């Protein structure tokens, strides 16, 4: 999966150089197809690539749109080689296992009032590559899934040593990887791709283990801001856009909170809210 993301970034740089904020007229579109055909792996069918990029023709694409196209191409090289057109996702043709990365975790309640967390996954490859999908897990499900991600099992009362990879909060799932099975019957343009099952192949468990090393701050994995070990990574204000161990995307800002009355309360710029992060989490546990 790391290879796909590196290829996405490489292709995005090429595509953006060629057509970002330009009117993709006939000549420019043909040049884009020619350039990408030279950059993609051998065996990619030219006409299939041409048809996959056709929705860009006649548009003025933004950087965000072009990055999504780059991700779709990088995550579907096998389809391009098999002469299957890779267009922007609008429906799911068949059952498909796809790699996922957890990009956001929010403490929430289900419609039935069960406390848990809503996880947002980014699809890293496959026909719905670059799209997001969400899933609610109860607190009990989070505890079960933690073992699948690679966290240590809960310590027994007789244990004399702390667990190596303790699970303490669902926010710790952020940036970890797994696979999801996309259900074609439940997926649609209105709701997006829907995951029916999850699995955790060795490649994902190995990546997660590397993430754990960054968060336990062993030799070679020291905190880039030299925070003490008492500042746990899933409670740290620094986002994963700045630190690999981060458990939310953007670094928190500080401002007065009208609920807890603190002058320097943490606010998440990625999830605008009238109250601070701590108050928003506490509100989930209040009785309705």
pLDDT at residue 288 greater than cutoff 70: no
Q: What is the C-alpha to C-alpha distance for residues 67 and 61, in angstroms, rounded to an integer?
A: 10
Binned at pLDDT 50, 70 and 90, residue 238 comes out as: very high
Domain borders along the chain are 2-81, 96-155+163-216
What is the pLDDT of the chain when averaged over all its residues?
A: 93
Task: Give the other-Cβ count within 10 Å of 88's Cβ.
Answer: 14
Name the pTM for this structure.
Answer: 0.89
- Determine the straight-line distance between the first and last CA of the chain, rounded to whole angstroms: 42
Instruction: Give the model's pLDDT for residue 19.
Output: 93
Residues contacting 132, CB < 8 A, separation 6+: 103, 120, 121, 122, 123, 192
- Alpha helices per DSSP H over the chain: 2-19, 26-39, 46-53, 63-74, 77-81, 139-149, 202-216, 277-284
Residue 24 phi, psi (nearest 5): -80, 80
Instruction: Give the model's pLDDT for residue 157.
Output: 72
pLDDT at residue 273 greater than cutoff 70: yes
Instruction: Give the model's pLDDT for residue 159.
Output: 67
Q: What is the C-alpha to C-alpha distance for residues 117 and 144, in angstroms, rounded to an integer?
A: 13
Q: How is residue 187 written in tokens?
A: 């997926």
Q: What is the C-alpha to C-alpha distance for residues 52 and 69, in angstroms, rounded to an integer?
A: 9
Instruction: Give the model's pLDDT for residue 131.
Output: 95
User: pLDDT tens digit string along 211-222?
Assistant: 999 999 888 899
User: pLDDT tens digit string along 149-208?
Assistant: 999 987 777 766 777 889 999 999 999 999 999 999 999 999 999 999 999 999 999 999
Nearest residue to 72 (alpha-carbon basis) of 31, 1, 19, 125: 125
User: pLDDT tens digit string along 36-60?
Assistant: 999 999 999 999 999 999 999 999 9
In this prediction, residues 114-128 reach a mean pLDDT of 96
pLDDT at residue 274 greater than cutoff 90: yes
Binned at pLDDT 50, 70 and 90, residue 67 comes out as: very high
């Amino acid at each position: 999966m790391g290879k796909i993301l590196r290829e996405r970034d490489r292709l995005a740089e090429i595509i953006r150089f060629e057509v970002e904020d330009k009117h993709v007229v006939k000549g420019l579109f043909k040049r884009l197809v020619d350039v990408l055909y030279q950059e993609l792996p051998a065996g990619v069918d030219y006409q299939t690539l041409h048809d996959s990029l056709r929705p860009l023709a006649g548009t003025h694409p933004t950087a965000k749109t072009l990055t999504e196209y780059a991700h779709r191409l990088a995550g579907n090289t096998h389809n391009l080689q098999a002469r299957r057109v890779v267009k922007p996702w609008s429906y799911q043709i068949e059952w498909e296992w796809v790699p996922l990365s957890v990009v956001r975790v929010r403490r929430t309640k289900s419609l039935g009032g069960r406390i848990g967390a809503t996880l947002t996954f980014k699809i890293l490859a496959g026909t719905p590559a670059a799209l997001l999908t969400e899933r609610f897990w109860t607190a009990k499900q989070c505890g079960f899934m933690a073992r699948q991600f690679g966290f240590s099992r809960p310590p027994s009362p007789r244990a004399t040593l702390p667990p190596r990879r303790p699970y303490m909060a669902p926010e710790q799932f952020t940036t970890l990887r797994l696979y999801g099975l996309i259900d074609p019957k439940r997926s649609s343009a209105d709701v997006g791709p829907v995951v029916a099952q999850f699995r955790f192949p060795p490649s994902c468990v190995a990546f997660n283990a590397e993430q754990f090393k960054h968060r336990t701050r062993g030799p070679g994995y020291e905190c880039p801001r030299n925070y003490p070990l008492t500042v746990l990574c899933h409670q740290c204000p620094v986002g994963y856009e700045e630190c690999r161990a981060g458990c939310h995307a953007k670094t928190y800002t500080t401002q007065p909170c009208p609920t807890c009355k603190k002058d320097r309360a943490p606010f998440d710029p990625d999830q605008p809210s009238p109250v601070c992060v701590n108050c928003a989490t506490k509100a989930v546990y209040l009785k309705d």
